[in-house]
Chain A
Amino acid sequence: MLTWLGYFERFGKNFLRGAGVTLELTAVGLAIGFVLGLMLALARSYGPKWLQRAAAAYIAVFRGTPLLVQLFIIYYGLPELGIAFSQNVAAYLALGLNSAAYQAEYLRGSINAIGAAQMEAGRSIGLSKWQAIGYVILPQALRLALPSWSNEPISLLKTTAIVFLIAVQDLMAEGKRAATTTFDFVGIYLAVAVVYLVMVFALDALLKFLERKTKIPGMDIETRR
């Protein structure tokens, strides 16, 4: 047990550096995924027919294929077409493009739940379609989506571990290096798991805080039906 705790002292700096990269990957992937996911969700709900189909196709492809395959296509495949990215940028892109497909589905569900009636209420006072989306639909849809959407940051944080396969120096890569130094695979990866767990707990607390912060009195009653 003492030797195991000693790993945190011995590799603490490396783990922290790796954890920082992991958090960065999560944040950037989540941000790209959110912006693109929101556009996809809006395209599917309010876009012209061709755009709805295009968005649906995007979501089907990115949810239907392994993230690792997407990552390898971006990092190893695209350079053959003359589009080369650094490891980190390739990782950001793969995580973001993939997460967008999932986030789009969370958001689309709640946009549909807020419904056409709220849109009409907005239009009835003279708001344009996009004003109604911005001032009426989204503020409600985003709140409604928050509890289920909260799965995505947590899931994404853990998913980032695969990027060590293209040699991004994240927590997993640091763990692997420590493991090959000590040959204590069980002990090191347990230590790494603990660091992931701590980050997930912290992220979860942050999301719960966000949920409380954005709560509208009485709105959960309205939407629980």
Chain B
Amino acid sequence: MPKPILTIKNLTKTYGQNVIFQNLDLTVNEGDTIVIIGPSGTGKSTLLRCVNLLTRPNEGQIWLDDLEITAKGTDEDQVRQHIGMVFQNFLLFNHLTALGNVKLGLTRVKHLSDEEATEKALHELSRVGLADRADHYPGQLSGGQQQRVGIARALAMDPRVMLFDEPTSALDPELIGEVLEVMRKLALDGMTMLVVTHEMGFAREVADRIVFMEKGYIVEEGSPDEMFNHPKFDRTREFLWKITELYGKKEKEAE
């Protein structure tokens, strides 16, 4: 029996009259990699932001393990410690080195000693292949390296689940591969991941399930094989074909 880590029920988010998504249900089981795809403006990023409580949903519930994190009076800071977030624009702390970026949460949130934090941070940096860049500032790193530091920063908190919000969309094509490689390895290591991306190669190869969202609804979800080879809806086929044409090539060129 798979153990759900993240359970989303009836989630609705609106901005005034503008409905971002409505009555959304989604379950992420332990060790699963779920890839959310869909046209832009569909609410994929907003969904991730709701899970991380950076945005409050209007209705519905989200559980992290057995804890309803959308309940009133939830300690948001406590919840976010257990949910890693990787941003489209990296959002590293520009005044800190790669090491400092990974250490900040360890010393200030987890209250590790400086020594323990350094050791743990170096370990996380080597997981993303950047131990030798520990003393570089974000401004001295390439986009791909910055994003890998972003991943290490989130990993250092030992999260239950990692959220990726279009982690490669801001990268030059030749830098996408190194970030996807790190994500692939994470998935193989059994990390639970919820990924919004247009990288169809990654989705096809790594995802346990692909979720196709459009206009605030989940149109269809299934295994990569079902989604790519026998989608139930024409709309899914159409979108996958278009996006593979657009982005699939880019990744191949990069590799």
Given A121-B91, A136-B93, CB of A219 within 8 Å of CB of B139: yes
Chain A contact surface mostly? helix
B54 engages A120 (CB within 8 Å): yes
The stretch that binds B, out of A63-71, A100-108, A127-135, A181-189, is A127-135
Shortest C-beta distance, A45 to chain B (Å), equals: 18
Q: Could you tell me the distance between the alpha carbons of A217 and B137 in the complex, rounded to whole angstroms?
A: 6
Q: How large is the interface on A (under 10, 10 to 19, 20 to 34, 35 or more residues)?
A: 20 to 34
Interface residues of B in 64-120 (CB under 8 A from A): 76-78, 80-81, 83-85, 87, 89, 91-95, 104-105, 108-109
Q: Are B85 and A218 in contact (CB under 8 A)?
A: no
Q: Are A216 and B109 in contact (CB under 8 A)?
A: no
Residues in A with CB closer than 8 Å to B148 are: none
Q: Which residues from chain B contact A123 at a C-beta distance below 8 Å?
A: 54, 76-77, 80
Q: Taking the complex as formed, is B236 at the interface, i.e. its CB lies under 8 A from any CB of chain A?
A: no
In the complex, which residues of chain A have a beta carbon less than 8 angstroms from the beta carbon of B92?
121
| A1 interface contact, C-beta 8 A | no
> Which of B76, B80, B95, B138 neighbours the largest number of chain A CB atoms within 10 Å of its CB?
B95
Cα–Cα distance between A120 and B91 once the two chains are bound (Å) = 9
From B80, B139, B154, B157, contact of A222 by CB (8 A)? B139
Q: A125-B157, A136-B93, A139-B95 given as contacts; is B80 within 8 A of A218 (CB)? A: no
With A139-B95, A216-B95, A222-B94 as contacts: A127 and B138 at CB distance below 8 Å: no
Q: Does B192 sit within 8 A of A, measured CB to CB?
A: no
Contacts of B83 in A (CB 8 A): 124
Which chain A residues lie closer than 8 Å to B198 at the CB level? none
B42 in the interface (beta carbon within 8 A): no
A158 CB-CB contact with B under 8 Å: no
Which residues of chain B have C-beta atoms less than 8 A from A117's C-beta?
A: 87, 89, 91
Is the CB–CB distance between A122 and B54 below 8 Å? no
Contact indicator B138/A126 (Cβ below 8 Å): no
Q: Is the CB of B109 within 8 A of A219?
A: no
With a CB–CB cut-off of 8 A, which chain B residues contact A135?
Answer: 93, 104, 108
Contact A126–B87 (Cβ < 8 Å): no
A216 with B139: CB separation less than 8 A: yes
Check B137–A124 contact: CB distance below 8 A: no
Which residues of the other chain, B, contact A218 by a CB distance below 8 angstroms? Answer: 94, 137-140
12 pairs of residues in contact across A and B, judged by CB atoms under 8 Å? A121-B87, A124-B84, A126-B81, A126-B157, A128-B77, A139-B95, A143-B95, A216-B139, A217-B137, A218-B139, A219-B138, A221-B139
**4 residue pairs, one from A and one from B, having the closest CB atoms:** A218-B139, A126-B81, A125-B105, A121-B91
Which A residues have a C-beta under 8 Å from some C-beta of B? 117-118, 120-128, 131, 135-136, 139-140, 143, 216-223
Give 4 A-B pairs besides A124-B84, A127-B105, A220-B139 with Cβ atoms closer than 8 angstroms: A123-B77, A123-B80, A124-B83, A125-B109
